[in-house]
């Protein structure tokens, strides 16, 4: 196992290549979704050195990673935000037709609770964006992560991540309840938007001034 300093140093050396792959994946994802409606945004990021080292340190107690430079799968991670819940499956299907998925998980709270919701997936880095120096290199990443969320799922998840996840131990009951209320509101807003979108897609348009 590498020391933290070695890990930090080797990850730092890798950043320019990760950045190139990030850009290429962002372009390819945009091309895949070019004809798909209701995409709000597509973004990719490279995990920062601190977050990478922190993640490895957190998982070290459970011996999750033998070779973190290979096994941390969100060194490059993308996110696609969509307008409606029904777009989640459409986007995932389109991406799965071009990138090879090895893991698809819908993160959702229990049915009696409200909380974090997002579709997480792990894909194989395709050969056309794989740097030649990474091919057959056992410590190079082979996979990347992609999340697909609605705007409301994202609107709740990001501040919650900052407020709740980072200081989970210090949250009061009231704070937890308010976060749950915000999650419920975001879920409710998604449901309402979806219902309206479905009604508009099946109901005939009412022309202004026409007799009803």
Partner 1 sequence: MRIEAADGTKRSKMLLGRWHGNLQHRASKLSTFACLFQYQPYSAEPMPPSTAAQTRRLYAFEVPPQRNVEKPLPPAGGLVQAATTVSVAIDESTESISVGKWIDADLQIDSASQDRSHVIRNLAIAIAFGSDADALSGAAQIAAHLSACTDRRSKDSLLMIVVADDDKATEVKLWTFPQDSVFQFSPSRRLGKGPSVQATEAFSRGSHLRKAAVFRGQNRRTDFLSCRVVDFQVNASARAAADFWIEHFLDARLSLGSALGTKILAKVLRETVGAACNAEERLELVGAAQALRQSNREKWSIASVADELLREPARSNLLAHPVAKRNKDSLFSLDRDAFDKLINFRVYQLDTGVWVSAPFTDEPEGVEIEKAGDDRRLTATGLVVAETVRSRHA
- Of residues 105 through 124, those in contact with partner 1 by CB under 8 A are 121, 124
Rounded-to-integer distance, Cα 29 and Cα 57, Å = 31
| Residue 78 in the binding site for partner 1 (CB under 8 A) | no
| Residue 99 in the binding site for partner 1 (CB under 8 A) | yes
CA dihedral 199, 80, 175, 165 (to 10 degrees): 150
Helix, strand, coil fractions of the chain, as percent rounded to 5: 50, 15, 30
Rounded-to-integer distance, Cα 87 and Cα 205, Å = 22
| Residue 36 in the binding site for partner 1 (CB under 8 A) | no
| Residue 100 in the binding site for partner 1 (CB under 8 A) | yes
| Residue 62 in the binding site for partner 1 (CB under 8 A) | no
Rounded-to-integer distance, Cα 81 and Cα 113, Å = 23
Of 8-16, 39-47, 70-78, 181-189, which part binds partner 1 (CB under 8 A)? 70-78
Least spacing, CB of residue 69 vs partner 1, in Å: 10
Q: Which is nearer to partner 1, 75 or 153 (CB)?
A: 75
Taken as a whole, the chain contains a residue count of 212
Rounded-to-integer distance, Cα 74 and Cα 129, Å = 16
Half-sphere exposure of 163 (CA within 13 A, CB side): 16
| Residue 63 in the binding site for partner 1 (CB under 8 A) | no
* Number of residues engaging partner 1 in binding (CB under 8 A): 27
| Residue 8 in the binding site for partner 1 (CB under 8 A) | no
Q: Which residues bind partner 1 (CB under 8 A)?
A: 28, 31-32, 66-67, 70-71, 73, 97-104, 121, 124, 126-128, 132, 136, 138, 141-143
């Amino acid at each position: 196992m590498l020391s933290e300093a070695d890990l930090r140093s080797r990850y730092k050396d890798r950043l320019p290549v990760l950045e190139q792959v990030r850009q290429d994946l962002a372009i390819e994802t945009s091309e895949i979704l070019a004809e798909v409606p209701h995409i709000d945004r597509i973004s990719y990021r490279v995990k920062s050195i601190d977050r990478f080292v922190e993640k490895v340190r957190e998982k070290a107690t459970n011996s999750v990673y033998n070779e973190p430079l290979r096994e941390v799968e969100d060194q490059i991670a993308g996110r696609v935000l969509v307008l409606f819940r029904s777009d989640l499956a459409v986007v995932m299907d389109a991406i799965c037709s071009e990138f090879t998925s090895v893991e698809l998980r819908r993160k959702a709270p229990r049915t009696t609770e409200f909380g974090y919701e997002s579709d997480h997936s792990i894909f194989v880095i395709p050969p056309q964006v794989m740097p030649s120096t990474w091919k057959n290199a056992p410590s190079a990443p082979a996979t990347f992560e992609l999340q697909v969320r609605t705007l409301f799922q994202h609107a709740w998840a990001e501040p919650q991540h900052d407020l709740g996840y980072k200081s989970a131990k210090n949250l009061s009951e009231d704070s937890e309840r308010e976060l749950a209320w915000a999650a419920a509101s975001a879920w409710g807003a998604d449901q309402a938007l979806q219902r309206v979108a479905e009604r508009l897609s099946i109901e005939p348009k009412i022309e202004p001034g026409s007799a009803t």
